[in-house]
Structure 1
């Protein structure tokens, strides 16, 4: 019990030594433990360590918000202590679980629940620790999993959904409603004799803090999503031969790309973010990198499944790949073409000339170019039969790529290669 209590000592040396002694003891004598005893160890000794850490972090976060981000050195030291303790303890738990996997494998669901509980938290450091531990578990124990155990990929899917960036506070205009309500209260206070300038300053400060936390939460979630994408790709690369097509398709359901694209396509939200300016410090579109990374990872995973189709006999992946390629090209062309212009009033004729895109739009197209190039390469890599069967579906999109503007020459070069090596021969054979 003393060793357990010392694992929370504020002195780093004592804390780390206590954790090492605790886990060394379990490693050295764990082979004598039965499953029921291990279950008691996890439930009564190991998991409570993380309950204490998460509770302390919650209290720390509440204190920070209540103080308006005023933090002193002692609080920073305490936060560092919490993260160090959590990171080390999670690594030790994972290593312990792997060492005695033959006995404790029925506890896998509980361990995964622990890891995903960190991933789902709106705190980048804790989520990062959870993702690192998850990959550590997969890299060390994945080879021991039977096929049914690989259904744990569902836990990553749930974590992904739970950490989707949320801009509702801004898109709904809630921050403006707060400001209006607060200004109303400010007027009443002025009638009561209190100086209005001071009250307005306080309300403006509160509004700024609320916006800061809303933007900070969205940025945190976006960062966690990028880490999750990297984790999925790393796990897939390690165990590509072990994970069935069915479970891989669960991994790549591109909810991230769809959500990011929905946010990036919200012109009203983007306008509000631009109006807020330096307070948000976000690129425009706000989740462009996340959208690109998600689309790219989905393309890679689907191409791998199609390549391995002779092994798993799954035809669904190729249909998913075709749909995804179609979606990526449509998104790019819509972005390049822009929103349709509104009809002008009066007798003024409506121009049908394409208006050149501005510098901001050109930068966005340049950022999207790499995904479009990968998409064109994925289409070109389809088998002859599949390529011929889907050419009629892709041809209008290829024509759109020819006519639209681009942010760089990458897309045009990849398109030229595809037309000359794949489309041209098909058309010649049809003549």
Structure 2
């Protein structure tokens, strides 16, 4: 009776207002209501027409910002998986197309398009995560994986976009994240630093020359996702590599605990003493074309990403120092120490520096 009287006289109570508030959850009728609109706008964010692309992107995130407060945690997960992540699937497809099948002029236009779209999408995505953190915090690991994917690309513009979004996330969400979430962020930072650490020795190591039988064995091992390649295959590969490296391992560089050894006589005769290394088929290994040029481009991109991450660590500490737990501060210091150790090891390797000079 009291509730009927309250409704008759227009009286609102906290319990009544809570009951009247609509919450969208991961249920068929709610999905069918929202997803034709949201998924359609998601598709249009990569329309070839710039005005359509820009408008669709802004409208999509305006809707999510305005109505996101009525979405339950399960509904945010569905939106992330079915609406937001597919935008970045388009990015992967477009990057493959522009780096493989297009002319230089079109490639520049496409890269500008990708850079603009990805920058705005990631900024909006981070801002949404922060705005609705109470419901979306379970998506932190997926968001970090997405950003790691960008930072790990051998595409300098997209890697830079990923670093900028990562720093934006740490700075904006820092005051509301607990220690466990900070541990996830720092773990992602340390992982991407290891993944993007540039290997200078790849620039002086010619590609292996494999006979058909060994090549087939390697392809089989990779295709079946075998653990390490078998001993017989490994020995066969080693026997087919043209002597060129001054160290014991053709792909790994010296570490802080294992300083570089003196090059062997064969290596000195084939690159350690000033001659350019010889690659597959007896051709001189060079950084100006082919495999060498691709390795150099990847090295430059990774080095640039590491520099951006150094700046990012500084910015995170400068803007979020008041909310950083002690473990996160130690993590930032560990990240900077890792970069220093890696760069210092390469800088102090005199054999590596001499052979890189020959490759210039």
TM-score, structure 2 normalization: 0.65
Query: C-alpha separation between the residues in 2 aligned to 1:268 and 1:127?
Result: 31
Q: Does 1:110 align with 2:142?
A: yes
Q: Does 1:162 align with 2:195?
A: yes
Q: Does 1:258 align with 2:345?
A: no
- Per-residue CA deviations over 1:185-243 (Å, capped at 9, x if unaligned) read xxxxxxxxxxxxxxxxxx88997232222122111111110100110111112222322
1:126 aligned partner: 158
Q: Does 1:22 align with 2:60?
A: yes
1:392 aligned partner: none
1:13 aligned partner: 51
> Structure 1 residue 163: deviation in Å?
0.6
Q: Does 1:56 align with 2:87?
A: no
Q: Does 1:85 align with 2:117?
A: yes
Query: C-alpha separation between the residues in 2 aligned to 1:204 and 1:274?
Result: 14
1:271 aligned partner: 354
Query: C-alpha separation between the residues in 2 aligned to 1:149 and 1:2?
Result: 33
Distance 1:142 1:204, change over 3 A: closer
Distance 1:131 1:36, change over 3 A: same
Pairs within 5 Å for 1:328-367: none
Q: Which gives a bigger RCO, structure 1 or 2 (Cα 8 Å, sep 6+)?
A: 2
Query: C-alpha separation between the residues in 2 aligned to 1:75 and 1:172?
Result: 30
Pairs within 5 Å for 1:89-100: 89-100=121-132
Query: C-alpha separation between the residues in 2 aligned to 1:180 and 1:222?
Result: 25
8 Å Cα contact 1:147/1:242 also seen in 2 = no
Distance 1:87 1:181, change over 3 A: same
1:423 aligned partner: none
8 Å Cα contact 1:122/1:163 also seen in 2 = no
Query: C-alpha separation between the residues in 2 aligned to 1:60 and 1:269?
Result: 34
Distance 1:148 1:205, change over 3 A: closer
Query: C-alpha separation between the residues in 2 aligned to 1:25 and 1:242?
Result: 31
- Per-residue CA deviations over 1:341-397 (Å, capped at 9, x if unaligned) read xxxxxxxxxxxxxxxxxxxxxxxxxxxxxxxxxxxxxxxxxxxxxxxxxxxxxxxxx
> Structure 1 residue 58: deviation in Å?
3.0
Query: C-alpha separation between the residues in 2 aligned to 1:88 and 1:179?
Result: 46
1:388 aligned partner: none
Structure 1: give runs of 5+ residues left out of the alignment. Answer: 65-70, 185-202, 278-431
> Aligned with 1:261: secondary structure?
helix
2:215 aligned partner: none
8 Å Cα contact 1:6/1:15 also seen in 2 = yes
**Aligned with 2:175 (options 124, 138, 143):** 143
Query: C-alpha separation between the residues in 2 aligned to 1:111 and 1:135?
Result: 13
> Structure 1 residue 180: deviation in Å?
4.8
> Aligned with 1:115: secondary structure?
helix
1:153 aligned partner: 186
Q: Paired residues, what number?
A: 253
2:40 aligned partner: 2
> Structure 1 residue 140: deviation in Å?
1.8
Query: C-alpha separation between the residues in 2 aligned to 1:72 and 1:126?
Result: 18
> Structure 1 residue 63: deviation in Å?
4.1
Distance 1:146 1:10, change over 3 A: same
Pairs within 5 Å for 1:160-239: 160-174=193-207, 177=242, 179-183=278-282, 208-239=289-320
Query: C-alpha separation between the residues in 2 aligned to 1:21 and 1:147?
Result: 34
Indicate the structure with greater helix content.
Answer: 1
8 Å Cα contact 1:128/1:224 also seen in 2 = yes
Structure 2: give runs of 5+ residues left out of the alignment. Answer: 1-38, 209-240, 243-276
Distance 1:206 1:232, change over 3 A: closer
- Per-residue CA deviations over 1:78-104 (Å, capped at 9, x if unaligned) read 222122111111111111111111211
TM-score, structure 1 normalization: 0.55
Query: C-alpha separation between the residues in 2 aligned to 1:272 and 1:265?
Result: 13
1:72 aligned partner: 104
8 Å Cα contact 2:286/2:292 also seen in 1 = no
8 Å Cα contact 1:154/1:251 also seen in 2 = no
Distance 1:97 1:237, change over 3 A: same
